[in-house]
Amino acid sequence: MKVLANDGIAKSGADALENAGFEVILKTIDQDKLIDYINENEIDVILVRSATKVRKDIIDACPSLKIIGRGGVGMDNIDVEYARENGLKVINTPAASSHSVAELVFAHLFGMVRFLHDSNQNMPLEGDTKFKALKKSYAKGVELKGKTLGVLGFGRIGQATAKVGLGVGMKVVAFDPFMDSANVELDFFDGQTVNFKIDTISKEEVLKQADFISLHMPAQKEYVISTKEFDMMKKGAGIINAARGGVIDEIALVAAIKEGKISNAALDVFEKEPAPEIQLLMNPNISLTPHIGGATSEAQGRIGTELASQIIEILT
């Protein structure tokens, strides 16, 4: 059987599949050529991340397909229900990249509160001539310890983010429309564990209480955060979106920063990927990364292994 890893797969996953007798094709086929390639090569399994879309046209036109696999959590680039209605298995790896995303959230958070994203740009340019001025400019940082982290969306990634926040010494408040509470377990290097029961509260209460908001909800018909929500937040709060482009109203975000409602923001995802708005890219109060939340070696290894295990279980 043939597996097309159109957006790539870690060596651990490819090796596991090949050892089980599958042929793994590590090619990236353009979206408009995908149907022809799948049919000409009689592909049984297509593996994607966020770049490749598997919509109704592919599902209808490619009878050889048996499995659609998504390396990661969200499956908004796949017509999941339609695929399942037509007898295809649709699989993903919801837990594999959770901690990687959580660490990126805090990489942004630590950078934001100490202005590292801006300092790292200006020190090479002016560090030798305006050292004292830069020191004064960046000497108003704050600590995360003791602050309140608000998590909107308390699934696996939201809970992983909460764990890091608790480890830093933050208070965590959370909203999730599908759960009333969650048990968050912190595991330490020496085998000790500490459990925290976190009861979810309303979205409005999270916005009012939090010093920093981290978003972990899928894209929806309407923005999760727009002008109304920015008005509810603490003056000078920070916000991070490592979920999906379109969760935050980016125009409203820029306005909230300009008006001083929001002190800083971090974006790993954008409404217009792969060409984000220039007003976001040039804003000194926004920390930026190019959609790399789950892009760590460890996460990719876990994703590859989990996908391989599921495929082998289904097809052998």
Specify whether 156 is catalytic.
no
Specify whether 216 is catalytic.
no
Catalytic residue among 103, 205, 273, 298: 273
Q: What does the alpha-carbon distance between residue 52 and residue 30 come to, in Å, rounded to a whole number?
A: 8
Catalytic residue among 49, 156, 216, 291: 291
User: What are the φ and ψ backbone dihedral angles of 32, each rounded to 5 degrees?
Assistant: -75, -10
Give burial (CB, 10 Å; 0-12/13-18/19+) of 180: exposed
Q: How far apart are the first and last CA of the chain?
A: 10
Give, for 12, the enclosing helix (H) or strand (E). Answer: helix 11-19
Q: Do residues 90 and 83 lie in contact, with contact meaning Cβ atoms separated by under 8 Å?
A: yes
Q: Tokens 């990661």 correspond to what residue? A: 72
Catalytic residue among 244, 250, 271, 302: 244
Ordered DSSP codes for 176-196: -TT-SEEEEEEE-TTS-EEEE
Specify whether 99 is catalytic.
no
- Catalytic amino acids? 244, 273, 291
